[in-house]
């Protein structure tokens, strides 16, 4: 029994005498790959509500002043006051309200004259103003007086000089008269609800596109 005690003591001493770095002999831990953090998930939103009122849409206009080719103050290039006769809408939204001021320009003017010459007025629509936005319009209108040709021929047959004094009639476009205008550009609009009725907010205009002649 004494021999066994001494053997156990010797084995314990031998175990204690092993070098301290014996743990290095243990198999190394396998490095685990590092996972990259997950990317944030994008949230897909619906496109903003937007409409386009296309060029060519009719804009009903009303003359705010009368024109008479025999008016001595009337000149080519002179601007004429008009207004929008009724709302121009995109769906249930008012884009161009009735009463918005519009402008036309006289492009041709001829006064009545001797030998039965009649008067003539021709003009083109230029634009309409909505708030601080000036919107291009297109469209033309004109009026011609009645020529006195038949009277001139009859007068010459009897008294040649009398035909010189025969005149046609003046061209007249009365105040309150209706004129058709048309949008000359696309209008991008976004809804801007109001308690009374929905109206349209005009978005900034894109660069103008040259229209074919």
Could you tell me the CA-to-CA distances from 178 to 54, 59, 85, 184 in Å, in that order?
A: 22, 11, 8, 19
pLDDT tens, residue by residue, 106-132: 999 987 544 457 789 999 999 999 999
pLDDT tens, residue by residue, 54-110: 999 999 999 999 999 889 899 999 999 999 999 999 888 899 999 999 999 999 998
Mean pLDDT, residues 22-50 taken together: 56
Helix or strand holding residue 5 (H, E): helix 2-16
By residue count, the chain amounts to 213
pLDDT of residue 91: 86
Name the nearest CA neighbour of 96 among 125, 65, 139, 53: 53
């Amino acid at each position: 029994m004494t021999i066994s005690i001494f053997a156990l003591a010797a084995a314990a001493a031998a175990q204690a005498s092993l070098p301290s770095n014996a743990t290095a002999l243990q198999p190394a831990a396998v490095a685990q790959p590092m996972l990259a953090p997950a990317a944030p998930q994008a949230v897909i939103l619906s496109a903003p509500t937007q409409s386009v009122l296309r060029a060519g849409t009719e804009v009903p206009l009303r003359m705010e002043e009368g024109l008479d080719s025999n008016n001595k103050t009337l000149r080519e290039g002179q601007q004429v006051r008009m207004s929008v006769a009724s709302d121009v809408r995109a769906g249930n939204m008012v884009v161009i309200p009735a009463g918005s001021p519009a402008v036309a320009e006289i492009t041709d003017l001829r006064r009545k004259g001797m030998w039965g010459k009649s008067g003539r007025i021709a003009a083109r629509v230029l634009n309409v103003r909505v708030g601080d936005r000036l919107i291009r319009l297109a469209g033309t209108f004109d009026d011609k007086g009645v020529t006195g040709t038949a009277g001139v021929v009859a007068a010459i047959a009897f008294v040649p000089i009398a035909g010189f004094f025969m005149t046609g009639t003046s061209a007249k476009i009365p105040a309150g008269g209706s004129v058709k205008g048309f949008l000359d550009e696309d209008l991008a609009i976004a809804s801007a609800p109001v308690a009374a009725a929905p109206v349209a907010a005009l978005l900034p205009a894109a660069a103008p596109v040259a229209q074919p002649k």
